[in-house]
Structure 1
């Protein structure tokens, strides 16, 4: 009888703790939605290998006041790069790619100054390659006047490096475009098919797919932003507008995926459970920063742009479009995903406060990255 009462008491305590945490997360989300004027938010939390929280807030479609639900699909923008990083690490585990191998090992007909750039330097944005985004329409992301991938690639190859390879950091989309070409050359299939086979199916992602504003995506949350300029004129008060953006299909290894917070949570669980990468050492390698020519660490891990390498509660993650973010705390067995439909909402600013609802010491951790 005493054991039974003890178990009941424990269950009640756990339930009460979960309710208190959920309420604390609600408070943070509601506060930030009001302050940042975010129409809709979706959140998922993974703890000890399980989804312990999945919640939706506000509206996905402002025009028709369609509520955000668990199956609402959000553009995740540059968070796509972490999927590309995992794809490359999978090929490394298979012995088909080496981090320190020059790209000329895998791709032919490259300019001389490109040939010694390594796979690792692409992953960590220290290649010096010119940014293909400068060739696209800056407003819509349209492929622009060059009209074809072939013309864009030839233009890139004819453009000088921005700096000596390995000497500086410069975030750009060309790095991941080239990684996509390597994936396709080695696997003999499209990178989209490779992602589907080796990641989406393995992690059982039901609502993760490539696409942009041109595509018909079920349960899609359009992206919005507040603007003060319309038709070349400044208005007195900013106004919410629907964003239109294209991700040309050949460039979608850098930003082209759409997903839900639950799908991304399940992807993280599969990643940490050895279903996507077989060796813990591969995961550690991916989450470690690259190095400049002089041996100092870069700001980027391999495919992952947020690397809080502090002594306590280290975290790795990525953000996209200034509107979606995830953080994984490997030592704490915790991960948080926040997706919004507002460009400029910067959920990066409050995601650690959400993590702190589960492990309070996280918000007290040294904010300085430790090299």
Structure 2
């Protein structure tokens, strides 16, 4: 029996070692193609950390390697921590999804009175988005922000649709602080990071100097260099995008979540239940994205295009990715999908893997194999559609001052989708950017022909005709 157990243990260790090598090689390839400065990656499987590695630099100005003390800012992935806090209060009977927010927040606009806690979590409130208005500064008080937003119409009927919105989390913070009579940050520390208090911090101020905190880098295609983010969102944004933490702290948090230390199984099931949107189209849980691979559901979120978390309850697995910038394509979702497939073949998303291949080929400058790769994939999978992917690639190429390559991708998309108004609209924009007004006009007219409701095409046609007259 002892020999059998030893044999099984050796086989499992060997398998994990092989998987680790494959993951390590894959991560290095992604970092190279996207010119990612620094990255931390962790994987938990069957309640054990099976992968925990650090790559690259956390500071390009004074090069320091990413390590276990590096605190990555995870941006909107912070919302998951807020979601847990809300459901901890629900589990204790201090809050209900069906509670109207007016029960906890005073002096709300009349048109907000029917918004419930569940609408904040599911981004179905219809309340105007606080970050959409430049006259609401980072240091504006919550009360002043609400007074300003009161002047705006509701974006849509409450409960009808999903529309990502930072005001929802400002209000959730106010509710948490009202019920607990403590600051949001203190409540999170005491109830989620009690064993990692020196490894996380809340700050939505990118220019604030914090030891070991990594600042996000934005790639400037004009200078072909990375520049540190200088965004300052203020304390109001802590619950939505302000958390920075180390990989070990994030993995501890994930372990607590899996082991039901934060919430009991029934509460987690409630949290991960899909919300019934009025439009019957949108899919989202209570603060969590719902992903499905081969009918296996997982839940997570991402932030700033530099972080992602996904938990696979049915596979007893979780993946954490944190980075500090990218050049070409935000790869966090594809990385999660790819790594999940390496660890568990049942989680292989074939579409995602080939989509990743398409993006990787087009990211290479003047690559003659990019279209060949695309057509090869399509020949093997003729029913798969990549209209959105090609469109995104085209715009990314344009943002990187690779207009000629962008036009080729947009043109490919038009050939693949000759009845798509949007594809012709994008090709028109590509030609307009290249100052080829004749072809821009031709494609905008085709776009309008396919979709007479395309006001952008209509406006651009007028604009181009005026330019040609001059």
- Pick aligned residue for 2:192 from 196, 199, 204: 199
| C-alpha contact (below 8 Å) 1:289/1:298 kept by paired residues | no
Match of 2:34 among 27, 33, 36: 36
Indicate whether 1:332 and 2:315 are aligned: yes
2:300 paired residue number: 317
Q: Are the counterparts in 2 of residues 123 and 302 from structure 1 also a CA contact under 8 Å? A: yes
The one of 319, 329, 347 equivalent to 2:332 is 347
Once the two structures are overlaid, the 10-residue window that deviates more, 282-291 or 150-159, is: 150-159
**Which of structures 1 and 2 has the bigger CA Rg?**
2
Q: How far 1:328 sits from its partner (Å)?
A: 0.7
Given that 1:227 and 1:239 are in contact with CA atoms closer than 8 Å, whether structure 2 keeps it comes out as yes
- 1:183 equivalent in alignment to 2:176: yes
Q: 2:25 aligns with which of 12, 24, 27?
A: 27
Structure with the larger helix share:
2
Return the structure number with greater relative CO, CA threshold 8 A, min gap 6: 1
Distance 1:23 1:10 in 2: 20
Shift of residue 157 of structure 1? 2.4
Q: 1:285 maps to which residue?
A: 270
Hey, what's the Cα distance between the residues in 1 that align with 2:5 and 2:268?
37
How many angstroms apart in 2 are the aligned matches of 1:366 and 1:346?
A: 15
Task: Supply the distance in 1 between the matched residues of 2:89 and 2:282 (Cα, whole angstroms).
Answer: 23
**In the alignment, is residue 254 of structure 1 matched against residue 246 of structure 2?**
no
Could you give the per-residue CA deviations for residues 129-148 of structure 1, whole angstroms, max 9, x where no partner exists?
001012348xxx9627xx44
1:241 to 214, 227, 234: 227
Match of 2:60 in 1: 62
* Aligned CA distance change for structure 1 residues 319 and 63 (closer, same or farther; 3 Å): same
Cα deviation code 1:148-201 (max 9, x no counterpart): 443222101232211111122210100010111111111111111111111111
Deviation sequence 1:226-262 (CA, Å, 0-9, x none): 113xxxxxx3x63221111223102211111001222
Counterpart selection for 1:360 from 321, 326, 345 = 345
| Structure 1 residue aligned with 2:424 | none
Displacement, 1:6? 3.6
Give the aligned length.
350
Post-superposition offset of 1:52 = 1.7
Whole-angstrom CA distance in 1 between matches of 2:37 and 2:246:
16
Q: Which residue, out of 186, 200, 205, partners 1:208?
A: 200
Q: CA 1:240 to 1:207, structure 2 compared with 1: closer, same or farther past 3 Å?
A: same
| Cα distance in structure 2, aligned partners of 1:105 and 1:338 | 37
Q: Distance in 2 between matches of 1:271 and 1:204?
A: 14
Q: Tell me if structure 2 keeps the 8 A contact 1:316–1:329.
A: yes
Query: What SS does structure 2 have at the residue aligned with 1:314?
Result: strand
TM-score by length of 1: 0.88
Task: State the SS of the aligned residue for 2:333.
Answer: helix
Instruction: For residue 21 of structure 1, report the CA deviation from its aligned partner.
Output: 1.0
Corresponding position of 2:155? 162
Matches of 1:76 and 1:314, distance apart in 2: 23
Q: Does 1:18 pair with 2:10?
A: no
Aligned equivalents of 2:346 and 2:259: distance in 1?
A: 25
**Which residue does the alignment assign to 1:78?**
76
- Asked whether the 8 Å contact 1:80–1:254 carries over to 2, the reply is yes
The structure where strand makes up a greater share of residues is: 1
1:272 counterpart (233, 238, 258): 258
Deviation at 1:7, TM superposition (A): 4.1
Displacement after TM superposition at 1:364 (Å):
4.0
Task: Look up the SS of the partner of 2:36 in the other structure.
Answer: coil
3-state SS in 1 of match to 2:283: strand
- Deviation string for 1:84-129 (max 9, x for gaps)? 1111101111111110121112222111110110100110001100
Question: Structure 1: any 5+ residue segments left out of the alignment?
Answer: 229-234
Which deviates more, 103-112 or 340-349? 340-349
* Residue in structure 1 matching 2:287, options 289, 303, 313: 303
SS in 2 for 1:299: coil
Structure 2 match to 1:174: 167
